[in-house]
A and B are shown apart, each in its own frame.
Chain A
Amino acid sequence: MITCLGDMFFPEVGVAMVRLLRRLGVDVEFPPGQTCCGMPLFNSGYHADARAVAARTVKLFADAGHVVVPSGSCAWMVKAEYPGLLADDPALHAEARALAARTYELSQFLVEVLKVSGVGSTFSGTLTYHDSCHLLRGLGESRAPRTLLRSLEHGELVELPGSDECCGFGGSFSVRLPEVSTAILDKKLASVEATGADCLVACDAGCLMQMGGGLSRRGSRVRALHLAQVLAPEGPP
C-alpha cells in the first residue's frame, strides 16, 4: 500500500520498498487505484468521508495477502481505525478487521513476518532514528526499525535524545498552526544536529516531509531518509 504523500512526493521510498521486499523473496503486487488511507479526513473530524475512503480501500485490498505500508500512521489508520469506522456494516466490518490483521508497517513486516534482523546492506556514516508518533505509541513499535538499522554494515546508529517526541507535523496541524508546528520542529532538528549524525531516519512520510523540509530549509548537511531508502539504497527494483 502506497498512500498519498508517498505516492506524490516520495515515490523513491516506494521503489526502495519494492526493491527491498523483492530482494527478500517477496512477491510484490500493487493494486491499482490507490489514493489515501483517509487519515487526514478522519483526524480533522470528517468521519463520514473517512468512512467512504476506508470502505473503498478495504475493497481494493480484498484479494491481497500481507499488506505492507511504508508509513506508520497509515498502517495505524488501517489497523486501528478502519474496523471502528466500518462497524455499522457487518460485511465491511469483517473485511476491515481481516485487512487490519494482515496489514503491517514495513519495519514490523520485516522483523515480525519475514523474521529478518538485517538485510545485508551497507551504509557509510552515522544514522539517527526518529520514532514517529503513530508507529511508536499507536503500534507500539520502537525496536524493529532500530534492529534493522543496527544491521547496516559500516553504519552506526546513534540515539536521538527525545526521539519519542513529536516532530510537529500532525497533518493539517502543520498548516493550521504553522508557527507552533515549526517551533516543535526546530527543537527536534536541534537535537538531530547535536547528534552529529549524517542521516535522520524515520518510518513515516509525514514526519519525513516535516523534518526533511526543515533540514533542507536550514541548509543542513543531515539528510532525512526513509528506512527503506537506507536499507535498499540502490540496485534493480
Chain B
Amino acid sequence: MSETSLGAPFAARARGALKDAYLQEALGIATTKFIGLRRESFEDFPQGDALRDRARAIKEATLQQLDRHLERLADNIERLGGRVHWAATGDEARDIILRLCRDKGVRMAVKSKSMATEEIELNEALEHAGVKPVETDLGEYIIQLAHEKPSHIIAPAIHKTKGQVADLFSKELGGRFEADPEVLTKVARAELRQKFLEADMGITGANFAVAETGTVVLVTNEGNGRMVTSLPRIHVAVMGMEKVIPSMTDLMVFLAILARSATGQKLSSYTTLVRGPRQPGEMEGPEEFHLILMDNGRTRQIAGTLREALYCLRCGACLNVCPVYRQIGGHAYGHTYPGPIGILLTAMLKGAPSVKELAHASSLCGACKDVCPVRIDIPRMLVELREHLDTEKIAPWTERLLFGMARRMMMRPSWFRRGASVARLAQKPFARDGRLRALPLFFGKWTATRDLPAVAEKTFSERWQELRRP
C-alpha cells in the first residue's frame, strides 16, 4: 500500500498518493498504455459501437427479469451436478465457503483473480479459519506477497513499479531477482506450480454466467484460471447476481468488447467455460462444483438510482481514463472497487453515506462514460448521488449554506451585482495586475497553486450599457 493510511479522510489519502513517486511513475506508464491499446483496438473494429449498444441492451433486458434468468442458471447447473448457493449478503457468501472448507477438509485454496472475493474479504476469512489462500494471478500474487489490496479492477498491482516487485520477490522468496518482468514471471510461475497440485479447492469469480447452458465464464490472460478450475478437487465460483446473461449468443457480444475495453486485446488469452463438475467419461475437472450467487446490495438497486452500475463488466477502462484515478491510484479511494465506477459500486454495497467525500472525487469530465463498453452514465449517476447526499443532509451544513447563498445570488440579479461590487472591494488588498495570487480562508484553496483573475472593474453586464446599440 502507498504511504497513505486507510483511516485518514479521503482528501488526505489522495494527497499522500500524489506524493508517492513510485505510484506516480507506475500509474502514469500503465494507464497511458491501457488508453492507447484500447483506442487502437476499437479503431480497427467498426462494429464496436453497435456491439456496445447491444451489450447495454442485453444487460438492461436481463435485469428486468433477473430472477427468471438466475433460476434458469441454477437449474442448469444443478442438472450438471453442480451446487448453487444463494447468498443475500457478503457475510453469507463467506460463511458458505468457510463451511465448505470445513466439511471437505480443505487446507489450501488456489484462487484466480476475482473482485467478488475481494468484496467479501475472503482471503482474511480463510486465513482466520486455517485455510491457506494462494492467489495465482501474477498481479494478485504480488499483492498477496506484499500484504496489500488490489488498486485496479483488472491490474491489481498497477501501483507497483517492476523495481518494487523485484525487491518484494527478493525479500519474500529469498534470492536476488532483477527487475525484468519476464524473469519475475518465471519465478512466480515456478512457485505456483506446486500450489496448483497441492490445493484442495480452486476459488474463482465469474465474468459471466450463461443461464441457458449453466456455463460459468472466466476471462483471463495467464492460464491460471484453467488450472484453478480443473486441478483441485473442488471448484467454487463466487459471482454477483447481476453477472448472469441469457444465452451463448449474448456471451459473444460481451466477449467481443470486454478485452478490447480492458487491455485492447481482441480476446483475452484464455476464455474458460466451466459447466459443472467433471462429467462421467471426462478426463479432467473437479469432483465438485459450487456456484455462489451473491446479492450483497445489488438487487435493491434494480429499481434504484444506481441501477446502471449493475451493467458494469469490470473491465477497468473507466479507471484508466479518469484524471482523478490517474493521479491518485486505487488505494486512495479506500474501498474494494476504485475509480469512477468504484464510487458507485461502493455506494451500492455500503450505502451512500460511505461515499460522502468520494462522490465529489470527479471533475465530471465524462471520459469514463465515453469508454465504458456498456455506456454507463457515470457522471450523471455521481451527480444524482450528490443530490441524494444533499437532500438527505449527509453533506456538511457549511456546504449546504454556501450553495444556498449561491442560489440566492443566481436568483436575484441585484444581489449578483452587489456580490461583484463586494468582491471588487474585498479583493483590493490582494490584487496586482488584475490577478489575485494569495487569498485567505476558503479562497486559498484556489490560490495556493493558481492565480485567480480579479473581478473585473466592470462586469460584462455593466459594459453592455456602452456596447448596446440604440
Contact = CB atoms under 8 A, between A and B. Distances in A.
10 contacts: A4-B410, A11-B456, A11-B458, A32-B461, A36-B416, A45-B389, A47-B387, A49-B407, A133-B363, A166-B365
Given A32-B461, A35-B409, A217-B437, A9 B456 contact: yes
Contacts of B386: 43-45
B403 A184 contact: no
B448 interface: yes
B29 interface: no
Interface in B419-456: 420, 423, 435, 437, 442, 445-446, 448-456
Nearest to A53: B410
B297 interface: no
B125 interface: no
Question: Which 4 A-B pairs have CB atoms at the shortest separation, nearest pair first?
Answer: A170-B363, A45-B386, A213-B450, A166-B365
Interface stretch (B114-122, B144-152, B161-169, B322-330): B322-330
A11 B360 contact: no
Chain A interface residue bracket vs B: 35 or more
A36 B410 contact: yes
Interface string A19-33: 000000000001011
A137 B363 CA distance: 13
A38 B446 contact: no
Nearest to B462: A11
A30 B468 contact: yes
A38 B410 contact: yes
A137 B323 CA distance: 15
A214 B406 CA distance: 25
Given A137-B370, A175-B445, A209 B452 contact: yes
A137 B369 contact: yes
Interface residues of B, number: 65
Contacts of A11: 456, 458-460, 462-463
A213 B453 contact: yes
Dominant SS among interface residues on chain A:
helix
Interface in B386-420: 386-391, 395, 399, 403-404, 406-407, 409-413, 416, 420
A42 B454 CA distance: 25
A182 B444 CA distance: 13
Contacts of A41: 403, 406-407, 410
Nearest to B419: A8
Contact of A170 (B14, B365, B407, B452): B365
B389 to A, nearest CB: 6
A176 B360 contact: yes
B364 A170 contact: yes
A173 B468 contact: no
Nearest to A209: B453
B11 interface: yes
A15 B360 contact: no
A191 interface: no
Dominant SS among interface residues on chain B:
helix
A46 B452 contact: no
B446 A169 contact: no
Given A213-B450, A213-B453, A8 B14 contact: no
A172 B443 CA distance: 12
Contacts of B453: 9-10, 209, 212-213
B423 A180 contact: no
A9 B459 CA distance: 7
Nearest to A37: B410
A181 interface: yes
Given A45-B386, A45-B395, 4 more contacts: A11-B458, A32-B413, A41-B406, A166-B323
A180 B403 contact: no
Interface string B1-35: 00000000001001100100000000000000000
Given A32-B461, A179-B14, A184-B327, A46 B367 contact: no
Nearest to B28: A187
Interface string A176-193: 111111111100000000
A237 interface: yes
A181 B445 CA distance: 10
Contact of A46 (B328, B360, B403): B403
A11 to B, nearest CB: 4
Contact of A217 (B449, B459, B468): B449
B3 to A, nearest CB: 15
B362 interface: yes
B460 A237 contact: no
B452 A180 contact: no
Contact of A133 (B366, B409, B410, B454): B366
